[in-house]
C-alpha cells in the first residue's frame, strides 16, 4: 500500500475540529496511532470517537501550543505512551475579526501570532528534538494560500493571519534544509478556500448575511474551479506527505486551492 502508515505514530495539533479532526481520521484510517491535540479537551472527545473505529491507539491531549511548557509536555507524553513521533501535523490556528492594516489592535496581532506562528515554531522545535534521536520523521505544517499571496480588501483580509502563514512557510523551508541530514522531511500544505471548517465560520462572526453572501460570491468567482474545496480532497495530499511515498520530497509547499494562485 503506497500510503501505509501502520506502525507509525502521528501527532496532530488543532485536532478538536475542522481540518485537524479530519487529518486525525485520515491518519488513523491509514494505520497510524494518533496523538490528538486541542486547546480544550471537550471537542477532543468527538475526535476520539471518530478515530477509534479504525482500531488504532489514540491519545487525546489538551494543549495550548503558544505555551512552551505545554508543548514540551505534549511531546514528552506522546513519546511516553507510544515511544516515538514519526509524523507531526502542525495545524492549530486561530483567527480574529477583520481590521484594516493600520487599525489592527496590537493585542489581536500578538494573540494570533502567538498561536499561528510561534506555536508552530515551538512545536517544530520539540518534534525535531525527538526526530533527531530517531533519525527519522516527517513534519507537515498547515499554511495557507494567504502565506503566498495577498488578498483583495473586499474579502476581509487580516494582516496578522497573512504574516503568520508567510512565516510558517519560512519555518518549513529553513527546517527542511537544516535537518535533511537527520532524515527529517519538512513540508507544508497551503489550502485555499475549504468549506465546513469552524475557522471559516469564525472569520465571518458578526457579519450581516448580505456581507457573507457577497464575500462567498467573490470567492467562487475568483476560484477557477468555481467552488470551495472539500476537506476529503486534502486526504491524498496529506497521506502522500506523511508516508514514505514522498521520501525524496522536503522543503516544499503544496497548494490545494482550485486554481486560485494560478491567476
Catalytic residues: 161
| Calpha distance 16→48 (Å, rounded) | 9
Cα torsion 236, 239, 244, 249: sign: positive
d(CA 235, CA 232): 5
CA angle in degrees (0–180, nearest 5) for 59-52-22 = 85
Q: Is 83 exposed, middle or buried (0-12, 13-18, 19+ CB in 10 A)?
A: exposed
| Rounded CA separation 71/74 (Å) | 5
Q: Are 85 and 11 in contact (CB under 8 A)?
A: yes
Give the DSSP H or E segment for 37. Answer: strand 33-38
Nearest to 14 by CA among 79, 78, 66, 52: 66
Cα torsion through 113, 162, 63, 81, rounded to 10: -130
Report the 10 Å Cβ neighbour count for 139.
Answer: 29
Helix (H) or strand (E) holding 167: helix 159-179
Amino acid at each position: 500500500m503506497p500510503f501505509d502508515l501502520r506502525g507509525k505514530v502521528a501527532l496532530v495539533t488543532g485536532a478538536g475540529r475542522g481540518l485537524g479532526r479530519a487529518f486525525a481520521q485520515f491518519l488513523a484510517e491509514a494505520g497510524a496511532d494518533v496523538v490528538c491535540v486541542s486547546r480544550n479537551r471537550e471537542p477532543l472527545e468527538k475526535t476520539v470517537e471518530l478515530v477509534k473505529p479504525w482500531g488504532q491507539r489514540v491519545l487525546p491531549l489538551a494543549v495550548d501550543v503558544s505555551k512552551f511548557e505545554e508543548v514540551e509536555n505534549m511531546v514528552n507524553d506522546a513519546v511516553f505512551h507510544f515511544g516515538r513521533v514519526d509524523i507531526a501535523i502542525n495545524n492549530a490556528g486561530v483567527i480574529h475579526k477583520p481590521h484594516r492594516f493600520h487599525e489592527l489592535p496590537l493585542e489581536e496581532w500578538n494573540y494570533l501570532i502567538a498561536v499561528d506562528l510561534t506555536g508552530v515554531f515551538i512545536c517544530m522545535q520539540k518534534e525535531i528534538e525527538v526526530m533527531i534521536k530517531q533519525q527519522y520523521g516527517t513534519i507537515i505544517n498547515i499554511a495557507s494560500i494567504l502565506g503566498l499571496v495577498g488578498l483583495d480588501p473586499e474579502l476581509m483580509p487580516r494582516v496578522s493571519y497573512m504574516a503568520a502563514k508567510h512565516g510558517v512557510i519560512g519555518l518549513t523551508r529553513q527546517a527542511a534544509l537544516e535537518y535533511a541530514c537527520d532524515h527529517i522531511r519538512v513540508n507544508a500544505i497551503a489550502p485555499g478556500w475549504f468549506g465546513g471548517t469552524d475557522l471559516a465560520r469564525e472569520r465571518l462572526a458578526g457579519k450581516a448575511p448580505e456581507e457573507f453572501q457577497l464575500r462567498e460570491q467573490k470567492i467562487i468567482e475568483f476560484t477557477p474551479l468555481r467552488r470551495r474545496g472539500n476537506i476529503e480532497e486534502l486526504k491524498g495530499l496529506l497521506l502522500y506527505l506523511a508516508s514514505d511515498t514522498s521520501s525524496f520530497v522536503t522543503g516544499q509547499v503544496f497548494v490545494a486551492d482550485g486554481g486560485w494562485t494560478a491567476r
